Amino acid sequence: MSILLLALLVACDAADQRERRAENADELAKARSLAAPESACQVLRKVAVPERGSLVVIVSDAMRRDASGIYGGAAHTPHFDAFARQHLRFTRAVSQAPWTKPSVASLLTSTYPSQHGVSDHPAWRSSATRTWTEADILSDDFVTLAELLQGSGMRTAAFVANPWMGKRFGFAQGFREYDDSFADFDASGASVSEAAAEWLEGIESHERFFLYLHYIDAHAPYGGIDEDVLSAAREQIEADVRPIGEKHRRFVDNLWLTPDRRIGESDIRRSPTLVQMSYQRGVENFDTALGTFLAALGDHVLDHETAVFVTSDHGEALFEMGFGNHNISLRESEIAIPLVARLPGVEPERAVVDCLVGLVDVMPTICDYFDLACPEQVSGYSVLAPDAGVPPSNDRYLVAEGLGGSPKRRTIQNRRFKLVGRADPGDARNNVVPRTRLFALYDLLADPAEETNLIAEGASSPEADAVASVMGEALLGSVGAAPDVTRGRARLDERTRERLKAIGYLQD
């Protein structure tokens, strides 16, 4: 008996009721039709990749999809917007986890958090003792993107500013040069760009390279607001009476109010509007740093032969639903991310691409682009035709998980619907069968803010129940079993713990 059938047989009572209501073949056929998009997304075709092709991957930590101007955000992001207009902008990109460590591991290995296992948050694991002394690491048994590209002859380097990206957590695998010193202090994006630009100067015209940059400007404590802007917006800030709960006060007080003063050092109202303004400034700081780096890359002889991805590891909740920060939920505010790519030799060279894609798709796309054999571990798909798993397949599902404290919670979505549930893969050795529980279903096209749960008690309909049934079947089967790899843990030294506290991951 298949795992999926077992999952359906042992589902909780509420799910069983929905399945019984959806047994009618016509309803199921209609549900599958509803769950599929109305038209295929943009097809991308590789024509001719430059012989000296190189790669840059840029991650703006905590930059949600709707933050920049070109994605409809309020931030002034001229450099990012211009780059997006000139190249490929993906409108439906999703992170596989709502915080850095598991999401970057998914990016670099094309595996899901439940597969690579880098999803243990010390604040959840050790909160009873308040010690936060260790965290899991990325296993050496996985082939990382850097290892793959280094093996193909590329010179590899990374400059990273998030303490979760420290060497001790396994992310340096495959990098000839890995500079995590920026994670030891409040490093600005400008310093990361300057270091990367200096590194580029040492690249000879015959060298191919892979450069990974991880900026933290858009991450808490965000950016300081200019005094004149703050003064002009003060009335609007004070008029925003939406509450910020006491348990979030410490987080908000630690955010930058101005470039040299924290919110907690002021008597200004702690309102969502103020938090959003500080976050907006952080995004703008990243944009400035991005402009600096792109200018340096543009001056390099290999610029026109270099593929570039600009994305984020996760989004950020800004008190729309009463809470801020990230690693709180799997809502779109925390997992919907920007993704822009320049791929020389791919047609069209500029387009708005509405294919559903994830960070797990970056590595297989790069494998396809450079004609490299991807490792067997890969769970994502290349976005390049004809072997693309994204177009022309209209029923592709994409998963997000890795939520700290709730590792079995999972979302699965296609280009219209998003199902939220709990997925327990079971244990065949101990006769524990797979189980699923379904919590919510959202129509992201009609309800992008996820305000209406279509399967809420007393509010569901036969159509919604049928869609939930179809997607519920995939909730377990969409992610393969975790591979048998060597797992490890690393101690958090005092400096790392202090840095994690400073950016909102840990509290006293």
Q: Read off the pLDDT of each residue in 384-407 and give the average, rounded to a whole number.
A: 71
Question: Strand, coil or helix: what is 432?
Answer: strand
Cβ–Cβ < 8 Å for 15, 438: yes
The predicted structure's pLDDT at residue 41: 76
H or E element in which residue 476 lies: helix 462-477
Residue 412: how many other CB atoms lie within 10 Å: 24
The predicted structure's pLDDT at residue 21: 46
d(CA 386, CA 1): 34
Question: Could you tell me the residue ranges of all domains in the chain?
Answer: 3-35+402-477, 44-222+268-394+484-502
The predicted structure's pLDDT at residue 507: 65
Q: Read off the pLDDT of each residue in 48-56 and give the average, rounded to a whole number.
A: 90
Report pLDDT digits (tens) over 436-478. 889 999 999 999 999 999 999 888 888 999 999 989 888 888 8
Q: Read off the pLDDT of each residue in 129-138 and give the average, rounded to a whole number.
A: 72
What whole-number percentage of the chain has pLDDT above 90?
Answer: 64
H or E element in which residue 7 lies: helix 3-9
Residue 39: how many other CB atoms lie within 10 Å: 8
Cβ–Cβ < 8 Å for 177, 272: no
Cβ–Cβ < 8 Å for 18, 328: no
The predicted structure's pLDDT at residue 14: 43
Residue 481 has pLDDT above 90, yes or no: no
Q: Read off the pLDDT of each residue in 209-213 and give the average, rounded to a whole number.
A: 98
Q: Read off the pLDDT of each residue in 119-143 and give the average, rounded to a whole number.
A: 71
Identify residue 482 by its one-letter amino acid code: A
Residue 415: how many other CB atoms lie within 10 Å: 23
Token match 């999703």: residue? 94
The predicted structure's pLDDT at residue 20: 45
Residue 40 has pLDDT above 70, yes or no: no
382 backbone dihedrals φ, ψ, rounded to 5°: -70, 145
The predicted structure's pLDDT at residue 297: 96
Q: Which two tokens stand for residue 457?
A: 């008690």
CA atoms within 13 A on the CB side of 400: 33
H-type alpha helices, 374-426: none
The predicted structure's pLDDT at residue 132: 61
Banded model confidence at residue 358, pLDDT cuts 50, 70, 90: very high
Question: Strand, coil or helix: what is 401?
Answer: coil
Residue 207 has pLDDT above 80, yes or no: yes
Cβ–Cβ < 8 Å for 58, 308: yes
Buried b (16+ CB within 10 A) or exposed e, 335-374: bbbbbbbbbbebeeeeeebbbbbbbbbbbbbbbbbbeeeb
If one compares 307 and 388, the residue with the highest pLDDT of the two is: 307
The predicted structure's pLDDT at residue 150: 98
Banded model confidence at residue 493, pLDDT cuts 50, 70, 90: confident
The predicted structure's pLDDT at residue 31: 60
Residue 423: how many other CB atoms lie within 10 Å: 25
Mean pLDDT of the chain: 87
Residue 116 has pLDDT above 50, yes or no: yes
Q: Which two tokens stand for residue 275?
A: 């938090």
The predicted structure's pLDDT at residue 15: 47
Residue 178: how many other CB atoms lie within 10 Å: 20
Cβ–Cβ < 8 Å for 156, 149: yes
d(CA 272, CA 68): 18
d(CA 287, CA 293): 10
Q: Read off the pLDDT of each residue in 9-29 and give the average, rounded to a whole number.
A: 47
Q: Which two tokens stand for residue 453?
A: 């749960």
Cα–Cα distance list, 103 to 124, 307, 403, 500 (Å): 17, 21, 10, 17
If one compares 410 and 423, the residue with the highest pLDDT of the two is: 410
d(CA 273, CA 319): 9
Q: Which two tokens stand for residue 455?
A: 């399967």
The predicted structure's pLDDT at residue 424: 79
Weakest-pLDDT range from 110-119, 360-369, 441-450, 492-501: 492-501
H or E element in which residue 100 lies: helix 100-109
The predicted structure's pLDDT at residue 9: 33
Cβ–Cβ < 8 Å for 372, 307: no
For the chain, what's the residue count?
508
The predicted structure's pLDDT at residue 346: 96
Residue 394 has pLDDT above 70, yes or no: no
The string of DSSP codes covering 170-204 is TTTTT-SEEE-GGGGTT--HHHHHHHHHHHHHT--
Weakest-pLDDT range from 112-121, 147-156, 211-220, 488-497: 488-497
351 backbone dihedrals φ, ψ, rounded to 5°: -170, 160
The predicted structure's pLDDT at residue 386: 63
Cβ–Cβ < 8 Å for 121, 135: yes
Q: Read off the pLDDT of each residue in 141-164 and give the average, rounded to a whole number.
A: 96
Residue 25 has pLDDT above 70, yes or no: no
d(CA 153, CA 210): 10
The predicted structure's pLDDT at residue 455: 95
If one compares 6 and 421, the residue with the highest pLDDT of the two is: 421
Q: Which two tokens stand for residue 464?
A: 């919604």
CA atoms within 13 A on the CB side of 222: 33
Cα-based angle 137, 200, 303 (whole degrees, multiple of 5): 110
Residue 215 has pLDDT above 50, yes or no: yes
Weakest-pLDDT range from 163-172, 452-461, 496-505: 496-505
**Which CATH code for domain 44-222+268-394+484-502?**
3.40.720.10
Cα–Cα distance list, 16 to 9, 12, 21, 23 (Å): 8, 6, 9, 10
Q: Read off the pLDDT of each residue in 187-214 and give the average, rounded to a whole number.
A: 95
Report pLDDT digits (tens) over 230-289. 999 999 999 999 989 888 999 999 999 999 999 999 999 999 999 999 999 999 999 999
Banded model confidence at residue 492, pLDDT cuts 50, 70, 90: confident
Residue 7 has pLDDT above 60, yes or no: no
Q: Which two tokens stand for residue 101?
A: 């460590």
What whole-number percentage of the chain has pLDDT above 70?
Answer: 85
